[in-house]
Amino acid sequence: MNVPRPTSRSVLALLLVLALALSVVPGLAAAETRTGGTVVVGPDETVRGDLDAFAGSIVVRGTVTGNVNAFGGDVFVAEGARVGGDVSAAAGSVRIAGTVDGSVSGAAGDVSVLESGTVGSLDAGAGSVAIYGTVRGDATVGAETLVVGSTGVVAGDLRYDAGEFVNEGTVEGRVVRDRSIAQGPEFEPVGGVGETILDVYGFLVGLVLGAILLLVLPGFSSRVADRAVSDPLRSGGVGLLALVGVPLALVLFAITIIGIPITVVGALLFAVVAWVGTVYGRFAVGEWLTELADVENRWVALLVGFLAVAVGVRLPLVGGLVEIVVFLLGLGALALVTYEAYRGRSGEGTDPVDPADPDAGESAPSA
């Protein structure tokens, strides 16, 4: 059977459509990410959407309409400033002198709600936590030292575990010591709801990528799925070889200065290929399941595959194995079919023409 092979035009179309699809995913285009140094939102500045900072500090003197997330740095919301969403920080310190409409979550050295500060709720795991301002909801704190100052107000319940607790303020709800709350940076502010949202987001983005692949490269996608189903051992073996061999080769390139740019680009490309391989692995599972049910529809197969793997990876004991097997099958089948397509285009591996064979002309490559 003649299956159309991917051309440079189709690959370009794939990249363009993929970029467009990711840009319209809700919340992604609205977020602003800055890396390193100190990120300052000026008094007259408004960041519409989320503000994320990696390995840098954030100072908000103006307005952020979404969430503020800092990883590896300090967060300071100045007096008169406003954050419309949540403030989350890992490492460093968190000081709130302005208004945070949502919750403040911190796994940090210290967390402080200053006298002029107002937050919706507080979830903190830190060396020290001080509340001199207002918490409009509940506060859950795990700390070595917890202080509710004379000007501090907690409108809801205060659940805590602290080595030292000083309460000179007002707690309108219950004050409960809960020894199950972790003290210090072991506290995890992201709960099950956040993890579920991330899982659903990843599921939908992967499904969108799968649909794009089926639209742009229908024949190639079918060949990858067929290879994974018909030859799972070889596909899985090649996938494992690629998973081990490519990073090793990139590390060897990185040894030389001239190889560092190649390593960076290669790592990014391999990450994209691995993601596509993961999608193809799910598509292959769907193809196998729909074939068992005598259903021939690639769109149904794509959806069934994603749903089946989403359930499989959550099975106790074997969930991790399901995920790695599906990934290796997809990555290996992708590598095999791509290599075969390359050999076909370059003329490698073509059998020599036998003049005595009356059908030889049909298999001979064109001049």
Give the per-residue SS3 of the chain: CCCCCCCHHHHHHHHHHHHHHHHCCCCCCCCEEEECCEEEECCCCEECCCEEEECCEEEECCEECCCEEEECCCEEECCCCEECCCEEEECCEEEECCEEEEEEEEEEEEEEECCCCEEEEEEEEEEEEEECCEECCCEEEEEEEEEECCCCEECCCEEEEEEEEEECCEECCCEEECCCCCCHHHCCCCCHHHHHHHHHHHHHHHHHHHHHHHHHCHHHHHHHHHHHHHCHHHHHHHHHHHHHHHHHHHHHHHCCCCHHHHHHHHHHHHHHHHHHHHHHHHHHHHHHHHHHCCCCCHHHHHHHHHHHHHHHCCCCCCHHHHHHHHHHHHHHHHHHHHHHHHHHHHCCCCCCCCCCCCCHHHHCCCC
- Average pLDDT estimate for 319-327: 85
Residue 270 pLDDT greater than 50, yes or no: yes
Q: Which of 27-41, 45-59, 85-99, 237-251 has the lowest mean pLDDT?
A: 27-41
Domain span holding position 314: 192-346
Shared domain for 41 and 182, answered yes or no, is yes
Shared domain for 148 and 47, answered yes or no, is yes
Residue 118 pLDDT greater than 90, yes or no: yes
Whether 302 is covered by a domain: the verdict is: yes
Shared domain for 97 and 197, answered yes or no, is no
Shared domain for 257 and 126, answered yes or no, is no
- Average pLDDT estimate for 235-264: 76
Shared domain for 274 and 182, answered yes or no, is no
Whether 38 is covered by a domain: the verdict is: yes
How many separate domains does the chain show? Answer: 2
Shared domain for 88 and 154, answered yes or no, is yes
- Average pLDDT estimate for 50-71: 82
What's the pTM value of the predicted model, to 2 decimals? 0.46
Whether 159 is covered by a domain: the verdict is: yes
Tell me the average pLDDT of the chain. 78
Shared domain for 280 and 314, answered yes or no, is yes
Whether 157 is covered by a domain: the verdict is: yes
Shared domain for 332 and 196, answered yes or no, is yes
Shared domain for 38 and 177, answered yes or no, is yes
Shared domain for 43 and 125, answered yes or no, is yes
Residue pLDDT, tens place only, 135-189: 999 999 988 899 999 999 999 999 998 889 999 999 999 999 988 775 444 434 4
Query: Where is the domain boundary, 144, 164, 186?
Result: 186
Residue 252 pLDDT greater than 80, yes or no: no
Shared domain for 224 and 120, answered yes or no, is no
Query: Where is the domain boundary, 163, 186, 209?
Result: 186
Residue 355 pLDDT greater than 50, yes or no: no
Whether 77 is covered by a domain: the verdict is: yes
**What pLDDT is attached to residue 195?**
53
- Average pLDDT estimate for 200-204: 78
Residue 100 pLDDT greater than 70, yes or no: yes
Shared domain for 196 and 181, answered yes or no, is no
Whether 361 is covered by a domain: the verdict is: no
Whether 4 is covered by a domain: the verdict is: no
Query: Where is the domain boundary, 186, 207, 231?
Result: 186
- Average pLDDT estimate for 123-144: 90
**What pLDDT is attached to residue 24?**
38
